[in-house]
Amino acid sequence: QVQLVESGGGLVKPGGSLRLSCAASGFTFSDYCMTWIRQAPGKGLEWVSYISSTGSTIYYADSVKGRFTISRDNAKNTLFLQMNSLRAEDTAVYYCARVATVTMVYFDYWGQGILVTVSS
């Protein structure tokens, strides 16, 4: 069955960096686009970033552009999110999710989420 497991979260000071990973299994990872979505405590969902199956196409939300970098290693079935210059408002649970199709951007499988806390 499809599984997505995030790791790498934790407490970091403002201005610091963190790298999230998402280990995928149960499907051919290299065939699917992937995405990161976050949810601040008590708030709604916010899309963060998207990467195509080969990594050739990447999109970011304006709120993270220039600070976050999405990447993937298809040989290791792993998705990454490098987060730099972190701010308090980046505090959230971060979910990785599989994009269901190339032509329609929706998310059919989600990880359990990993908490990132930015605080001094």
Partner 1 sequence: QSVLTQPPSASGTPGQRVTISCSGSSSNIGSNYVYWYQQLPGTAPKLLIYRNDQRPSGVPDRFSGSKSGTSASLAISGLRSEDEADYYCAAWDDSLSGEVFGTGTKVTVL
Sites of contact with partner 1 (CB under 8 A): 35, 37, 44-47, 50, 59-62, 95, 100, 104-108, 110-113
CA distances from 85 to 65, 68, 69, 115, 117 (A): 11, 8, 12, 17, 13
Q: Which lies closer to partner 1 via its Cβ, residue 37 or residue 86?
A: 37
Q: How far apart, in Å, do the first and last CA atoms of the chain sit?
A: 40
Q: Which lies closer to partner 1 via its Cβ, residue 75 or residue 104?
A: 104
According to DSSP, the β-strands at 34-39 and 92-99 are antiparallel
Cβ at position 15, least distance to partner 1 in Å: 24
With tokens 């963060």, the residue in question is 48
Cβ at position 24, least distance to partner 1 in Å: 15
Q: Which lies closer to partner 1 via its Cβ, residue 29 or residue 60?
A: 60
Cβ at position 106, least distance to partner 1 in Å: 4
CB 18 within 8 A of CB 11: no
Cβ at position 57, least distance to partner 1 in Å: 10
Q: Which lies closer to partner 1 via its Cβ, residue 10 or residue 106?
A: 106
- The span from the CA of 91 to the CA of 98, in Å, is 22
